[in-house]
Amino acid sequence: MKAATASATAAAVKTILFPTDFSDASTRAQSYASALANRFRAKLLILHAREPRNYALPPETWQRGEDADAHKMQELQKSIASSFPGLKSELRVGEGTAWQIVESALAKDKVDMIVLGTQGRTGVGKLLLGSHAEEIFRHATCPVLTVGPHAQDIKGTENELREVLYATDFSPESQAAAPYAVSIALALEAHLNLLHVVEEPKSGELVSATEVISSSERLLRALIPDGAEFWRDPRYFVERGEASEKILEVAERIPAGLIVLGVRKPAGVPGAATHLGVGLAHKVVVAAACPVLTVRR
């Protein structure tokens, strides 16, 4: 099939928000934020959350910190301008938590995508995101591209992000991410791969494995909108097993340059989502060799 025009997505992604704390994780995410903004010809909005001034300390103490942050922001802007001449960027520094600063930007600016980095951390045998990263991708109303600790660096060349993997369990939350997977693949002229993972058959189950695979593939094909013209026909995968393990296996097999998932809205005790439990998205983000785009329904 002939390559599709990229107008649908390129026109939609006009502003990419990049929160940074100048850590190694943020530096890794910066390469994706800059490269994607350059590919989409989007504005790159760079945010840094600064702790409120502690007036109990001598003024020169917190002034040194503010001067250091200003210097880092200037160096960051110079680096981006050097790597991507002509890329439009804006830098902002605000006081508060990372989410407070991001939330303020979402209310003020028409943000189409957030790009952030996380180191990932382990605890009691569970894989967790850092609290700031999870709070953002669980609460943000726009798609969030999270660059995990094992994601490969990106330089913004044409041969990168050539394989996009979209995984779905056909729930409303996961299907909300399908249009983003399709439109990004079209815009980047990438190869779209669609995956559904089914549980291992239970004892006494009457539906055969062949029937499950066949019906699942039909549902995957139905997610492709009429008229979508890809440069290469999408591929469809139906796997049996544990969802996060199979997503990571297929992503490695392709190999994927981007994974797209739908995530549920935060629920329960305020703040609990950043400390309790481990979702599928957490496991994939911290283990994948590529970034993960999460879309909240």
pLDDT (0 to 100) of residue 206: 52
Establish if 204 belongs to a structural domain. Answer: yes
Mean of the per-residue pLDDT values for the chain? 80
The residue assigned the tokens 């983000």 is 285
Q: How confident is the model over 151-176, as pLDDT tens digits?
A: 988 766 656 789 999 999 998 888 88
8-17, 125-134, 257-266 — most confident range: 257-266
How large is the average pLDDT for residues 25-35?
A: 89
Q: Is 86 left (phi over 0), alpha (psi -120 to 50) or beta?
A: left
Q: Is the pLDDT of residue 22 over 70?
A: yes
Rounded to whole angstroms, the Cα distance separating 67 from 63 reads 6
The token pair that represents 122 in the structure block: 């382990």
* 228 in any annotated domain: yes
Question: pLDDT, tens digit, for every residue of 49-67?
Answer: 887 666 666 766 667 767 7
Distance CA 114, CA 18 (A): 6
Q: Which of 247, 284, 234, 224 has its CA nearest to residue 169?
A: 247
Is 2 a member of any domain? no
In angstroms, rounded to a whole number, what is the distance separating the alpha carbons of residues 103 and 135? Answer: 11
Q: How much of the chain, in percent, has pLDDT values that exceed 70?
A: 78
Helices (H), 176-279: 178-188, 209-222, 243-253
Q: Which domain holds residue 241?
A: 7-296
The per-residue pLDDT for 25 is: 85
Model confidence at 20: pLDDT above 80: yes
Whether 104 is covered by a domain: the verdict is yes
Query: Which residues are 167's β-sheet partners?
Result: 195
CA torsion sign for 167, 119, 133, 153 is negative
User: Does a structural domain hold residue 1?
Assistant: no
What pLDDT is attached to residue 73?
Answer: 83
Q: pLDDT at residue 203 above 90?
A: no
**Overall number of domains in the chain:** 1
In a domain, 98, yes or no: yes
Of the segments 50-54, 118-122, 224-228, which one has the largest average pLDDT value? 224-228
CATH of the domain at 141: 3.40.50.12370
Give the list of residues 6+ apart from residue 51 with CB closer than 8 angstroms, or none.
95
When pLDDT is cut at 50, 70 and 90, the band that residue 8 belongs to is: very low
